Structure 1
């Protein structure tokens, strides 16, 4: 990778030209800010119900509390319908269809490539090392001048491990496009978040979610942290009311009661250790890989057979045996003690 000073990175040079000059749609609630008693601006049903009014299009109350919790400014936050919305918008904003590319590791979270292909953007791949880490020698041989975004999932899905922090820092210093670090599972890891590096690297984007540690997968609320310039671009092209009122209210409640998340994380980590120990004692298990997430990747004698056997016993895991570097592997989410016991008891019979 050719070394470039981060001070030379101008985000505007990376944005698609039509997006840079786009005049965004302005909703009624974008134009009005402040307190009022009578709202006659948005063609809403005036009769009271819990949801007759449009939500705050910029989720200001949620961002204010989230900013305090994460140690960033609200201007550094974009909230979306899951992290997938942010992934899609980043590709749409920064990659010219049929011209630009994204770069992903292999294996990794599948939505990066899906969003790219939907938007007509090429996908370049670099295979992780056998221990599931970044290959800094192969990386510069894979991307080219068309590569606008590098997606790194850490802890990685489906492997479960953190990518080397030192290697990621090296990439941040040398890669000229956007570097998106997906930290969906960071609450279960011992490493600190890259959110704290935003001030140093204007091309850094960090994704997190309320779906995992916060226990709110059904709400579909994803977090994106980046420079105000990048956040401004995402706000230009998002749907006006992309996060509904109910989701915003429940997110505020979760942030007000963050202790619940901390209790869940501690219990999941305890159960993860117990699950790993139990799995390693089974004769059908060849290897349990190190995990920094709320799941474990397990190599078994015959993954497709094991998956079907568990399904027949009403226990659902993921068969990852066709994924690069994951031959004969299944991915198991850490469940409750009762759920984990049922899994182990079923596997003991194989």
Structure 2
């Protein structure tokens, strides 16, 4: 493989002079801040939010580096993983010229961001066992293919993608391979974080919205080479992570043991839920899951979905998604929530 990051980068991004604040231009601590036209008297809140936040989130990245085993300079923090996805398009894909590859069924924002940025999407469906079609991907790639998105564990199917197949693509594709590991905390398969140095064309996406329970704070992580992280920081908004989010996430990151206990409990509940669903005659198939949800194929999925909504139980109807026909995607809840769901499903089929 001959990977040339500069050749992938859009010309306007190469020439871009990023916005620079005084907080970017000095190092160390300051006692008098008179650079950003802030309100020097404070804020109406008990915590002072009158100052702009650290634009590069240094303290937060250092803490994440300790937990994730990834150097801080290889971490980008975004307003959810969706910001990193959008930045990838804006940095590397020329609108109306370049293309990306996605492997449906998969996370919908890859295609939404492509459409927003006027970038062609080439779809190479997963196989019937929800694994990569390597031959199909190879045929879809051309000189204008800049990005290839792989979600593992995959959403909405829940399974992990074969690691050797991903490595085959990393070795042979000259563009950027984006592996979305939003659900990696629930999986037996190892994260690709330890492989960042080996693959300069690798970008990993992770989130604090799932296992860490911080969905409302909207913090996503992207890991990549220092060159790719520099590009992200060059084009992101100046203060993309607000101070409240930085403070609360720092507090949450001190509770790794609590999160690990939740993960263990979720995996246990996932297995119990799958076993219970399998006893229902109308359940035709349950895809083995490495995530915190289960894809369930059953009879009358749309009717069951509507029945559950009327019971105040919300799941995701995936029955019209290609390769997920007849399926509902069910998030693993608490034992009480799962019991209520099972009772409602059994009531529907009586």
Greater than 2 Å deviation, 4+ residue runs: none
Residue-pair matches, total? 344
Alignment partner of 1:256 out of 254, 257, 263: 254
Paired position in structure 1 for 2:266 = 268
| Aligned-partner SS, 1:234 | helix
Q: What value does the CA root-mean-square deviation take over the aligned residues?
A: 0.8
Paired position in structure 1 for 2:319 = 321
CA contact (8 A) 2:4 2:174 kept: no
Q: CA deviation at 1:198?
A: 0.5
| Structure 1 residue ranges without an equivalent (≥5) | none
| Aligned-partner SS, 2:124 | strand
Paired position in structure 1 for 2:147 = 149
Find out whether 1:334 has 2:332 as its counterpart: yes
Structure 2 CA distance, aligned partners of 1:284 and 1:309?
15
Paired position in structure 2 for 1:20 = 14
Alignment partner of 1:188 out of 175, 186, 189: 186
Q: CA deviation at 1:240?
A: 0.4
Paired position in structure 1 for 2:218 = 220
* TM-score (normalised: structure 2): 0.97
| Aligned-partner SS, 1:79 | strand
Paired position in structure 1 for 2:119 = 121
Alignment partner of 2:28 out of 18, 34, 45: 34
| Structure 2 residue ranges without an equivalent (≥5) | none
Structure 1 CA distance, aligned partners of 2:257 and 2:242?
24
Moved more, 203-212 or 256-265: 256-265
Find out whether 1:108 has 2:134 as its counterpart: no
Q: Give per-residue Cα distances to partners, 1:90-116, cap 9 Å, x unaligned.
A: 111000000001100011000001001
Paired position in structure 1 for 2:234 = 236
Q: Give per-residue Cα distances to partners, 1:119-149, cap 9 Å, x unaligned.
A: 0110001010000000112111112111100
Structure 1 CA distance, aligned partners of 2:346 and 2:70?
48
Paired position in structure 1 for 2:129 = 131
Q: CA deviation at 1:336?
A: 0.5
Q: CA deviation at 1:84?
A: 0.1
Paired position in structure 1 for 2:4 = 10
* TM-score (normalised: structure 1): 0.97
